[in-house]
């Protein structure tokens, strides 16, 4: 009986000491389970984009009389460039600012004033926009954006095989857009986006060898751009 009582006492002591001994073991023995992936959108990022655009243009002119509509045309082409920005996340809300530069191959021409041809091409776009959106799930952000955009464009007016007059301008307009961005991991994300740009109407002077010598055309430009791209969050 004495032996049985001794064994029971040892067993009871071992059970009581187990939690204390476990607590004294080094942390390397008991590791906490890994946390679920919880990316944050806060931080600086840089990236690149590519896409396609459609530009529309309507123009009028005053040639020694009342102002008349002379052309209504469109053009298309490939675009591509880069962007840099900063986001702040507060709960599900994400907001920030972004600057972008886009090279453009959007161009087109159309008949105007009967035998004349009017043409236009956008060389590049540069924009500064604000972004605001909401986190749809752990990895997806839906957003809208808006701000200022500049366009460098070349315009042409003439009669094919007879004469051609060109003019270049850098114009200021506004941009509005919307997109969706998806995080692959803490640093890399991909997005798709639509932008509408409106540059209003501006007067452009063309030198011509006939008539009054100078034709002033009021040109109204807009553009629709679809693009996809990637961003890398620096920190």
Q: Which domains does the chain have, with CATH numbers?
A: 43-233 (2.40.160.20)
pLDDT digits (tens, 9 = 90+) for 124-155: 999 999 999 999 988 999 999 999 999 999 99
Whole-structure pTM value = 0.80
pLDDT computed for residue 225 by the predictor = 98
pLDDT computed for residue 6 by the predictor = 36
| pLDDT over threshold 70, residue 75 | yes
Q: Which of 8-17, 31-40, 142-151 has the lowest mean pLDDT?
A: 8-17
pLDDT computed for residue 163 by the predictor = 84
- % of the chain beyond a pLDDT of 70: 81
Name every residue whose Cβ is closer than 8 Å to that of residue 31 and which is 6 or more positions away in sequence: none
pLDDT computed for residue 37 by the predictor = 54
Cα gap 112→63, rounded to integer Å: 13
């Amino acid at each position: 009986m004495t032996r049985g009582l001794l064994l029971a006492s040892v067993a009871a002591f071992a059970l009581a000491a187990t939690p204390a001994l476990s607590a004294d073991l080094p942390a390397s023995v008991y590791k906490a389970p890994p946390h679920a992936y919880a990316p944050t959108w806060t931080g600086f990022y840089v990236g690149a984009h590519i896409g396609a655009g459609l530009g529309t243009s309507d123009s009028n002119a005053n040639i020694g009389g009342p102002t008349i509509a002379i052309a209504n045309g469109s053009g298309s082409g490939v675009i591509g460039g880069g962007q840099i920005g900063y986001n702040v996340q507060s709960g599900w809300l994400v907001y920030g600012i972004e600057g972008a530069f886009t090279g453009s191959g959007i161009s087109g021409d159309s008949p105007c004033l009967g035998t004349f041809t009017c043409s236009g091409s956008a060389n590049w776009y540069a924009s500064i926009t604000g972004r605001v959106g909401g986190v749809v799930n752990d990895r997806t952000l839906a957003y809208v954006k808006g701000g200022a955009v500049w366009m460098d464009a070349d315009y042409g007016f003439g009669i094919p095989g007879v004469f051609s007059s060109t003019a270049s301008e850098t114009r200021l307009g506004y941009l509005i857009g919307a997109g969706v961005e998806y995080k692959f991991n803490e640093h890399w994300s991909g997005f798709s986006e639509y932008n509408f740009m409106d540059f209003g109407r501006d007067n452009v002077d063309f030198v011509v060898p006939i008539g009054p010598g100078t034709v002033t055309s009021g040109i109204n430009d807009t553009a629709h751009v679809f693009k996809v791209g990637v961003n890398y969050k620096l920190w």
